[in-house]
Amino acid sequence: MGNVVSRIKAIILYCDSIEEKIDRFGREIEDFVDDPDYQHGCSFCVFQIGECIKSLISGAEQKISGDTTERILWNERYHRPWLSQNRS
């Protein structure tokens, strides 16, 4: 349980860090697009959030699946095709 709490706390800290970057660099999309430091700072946080979530899902998958041969296909179950579509 402690690992879950620490991962969630880490996610919150990374979200706070993104909010701080927004306050520092600006809220307009142009501010983000025109500043590589802004982009890298935010993308690092988003990547780390993804790693924390991957760890949480892996832990949940192990607890649910246990030693059985039945596995939950998390990627297929939670895949959102609209996220990968080009939006204009």
Q: What is the pLDDT of residues 23-60, one digit of tens each?
A: 999 999 999 999 999 999 999 999 999 999 988 887 76
SS3 72: coil
Residues 6+ apart with CB under 8 A from 75: none
pTM metric for this prediction = 0.66
Looking at the 3D structure of the chain, how many domains does it have? 1
Structure tokens belonging to residue 56: 């949480």
Structural domain boundaries enclosing 66: 2-84
